[in-house]
Amino acid sequence: MGFARNKSGKTCAVLKQTFINAMREATQDEIETTLSLLGFKPELNGEYFSNGKHDIFDAVPNNVLIGENGRTFFIDTIIYKSQSNGLESYRSLSPRYNNSENRASNS
């Protein structure tokens, strides 16, 4: 739909998607099974998943839903081409990653 700035002041895309009637969040096992069936394997202890062409980050239960029809919906994952410094980009841009890093360093 356009562009905006997030709470960190970084430019991001504003997208529109149809509403998903979800029964629940997917479990981590369901996420891993679905990605495995699609040819993706966990990398770096599950930090991300890769099929050698694309890397998927942030595939965690609150970003993956099980719809009323039983289908799995990945709604807020981050995808990079493999070998494109995706992991470094994810680590530098992801609030989820940065928050876990900050909690670990403050402990």
Identify the DSSP state of 84.
S
Average predicted confidence (pLDDT) for the chain:
83
> In this structure, are residues 101 and 92 in contact, taking their beta carbons and an 8 Å threshold?
no
Residues 19-38, mean pLDDT to the nearest whole number: 93
* Alpha-helical runs (H) found in the chain: 28-37, 86-93, 95-106
Residues 62-70, mean pLDDT to the nearest whole number: 91
**pTM of the prediction?**
0.68
Domain membership of residue 87 (yes or no) is yes
Residue 95 scores a pLDDT above 70: no
Domain count, the chain: 1
Residue 93, pLDDT score: 66
Domain membership of residue 32 (yes or no) is yes
Domain membership of residue 52 (yes or no) is yes
pLDDT confidence bin for 98, thresholds 50/70/90: low
Domain membership of residue 12 (yes or no) is no
Domain membership of residue 8 (yes or no) is no
Nearest-Å Rg of the Cα atoms of the chain is 15
Domain membership of residue 90 (yes or no) is yes
Domain, as residue range, for 73:
21-106
Domain membership of residue 16 (yes or no) is no
Residue 35, pLDDT score: 96
Residue partners of 104: CB distance under 8 A and separation at least 6 = none
